[in-house]
Structures are given as structure tokens and as C-alpha cells.
Amino acid sequence: MKGSGTGYGFAPVSTLGGATEEAGKTENVKEVLTNIDQLAQYLDRITVVYD
């Protein structure tokens, strides 16, 4: 996810992806779960519109 969302207008996906990756490298399970929850909340709030 890190870097994937920004090009499509979903910067929080990239930000949370990067943070989750870093938390995983240090085995910080609490932070990984928090980031997943934040991502789920973000995805619940957005609406993708196709032209």
C-alpha cells in the first residue's frame, strides 16, 4: 500500500501503508492493528466516483 494510494488521490492509504510496514518490521502488533483500524475507518468514509 505504501506509495500506491497517492497517485490516485488517496494519500492516507499510502501513509497508513508505510506506517503499517514500519510497525511490522519492529513487530509492533498494537500499532499494526491501530493502523488497520484507521485504514478501515478511512475507507468507510470515502466514495469512489468513476467518470
What residue has cell string 499510502?
14
Joined grid coordinates for residue 16: 497508513
Domain residue ranges of the chain, discontinuous segments joined by +: 6-45
pLDDT tens per residue across span 1-26: 677 788 788 899 999 999 999 999 99
pLDDT at position 29 over 90: yes
Whole-number pLDDT of residue 48: 85
